[in-house]
Amino acid sequence: MAERNSCTQQHATTTAVFEPQVHYYRIGYRPSQGQSTLLPQFTLKGLWMKALTFYTGLTVVVTAEKG
């Protein structure tokens, strides 16, 4: 018989499984604000970023590759 203060329950550890999702973005141009040079840009946004622990002020490193 188990003692009065003993714990007979076992706790299973669970790990969240990340399912990759694809997000498509289109390259556009930055508003020119009177400048003659058009600069390409794209913006990442969405609640999915928050779910992946992106937050305001986070430093992000972007590696550019040809492709």
Q: Parse the chain into domains and list their residue ranges.
A: 20-67
pLDDT given at position 10? 59
Token pair in block for residue 58: 């986070």
- The neighbouring-strand residues paired with 40 are 29
Q: Report residue 9's pLDDT band, with 50, 70 and 90 as the boundaries.
A: low
* Mean pLDDT confidence for 16-44: 82
pLDDT at 59 over 90: yes
* Mean pLDDT confidence for 33-57: 86
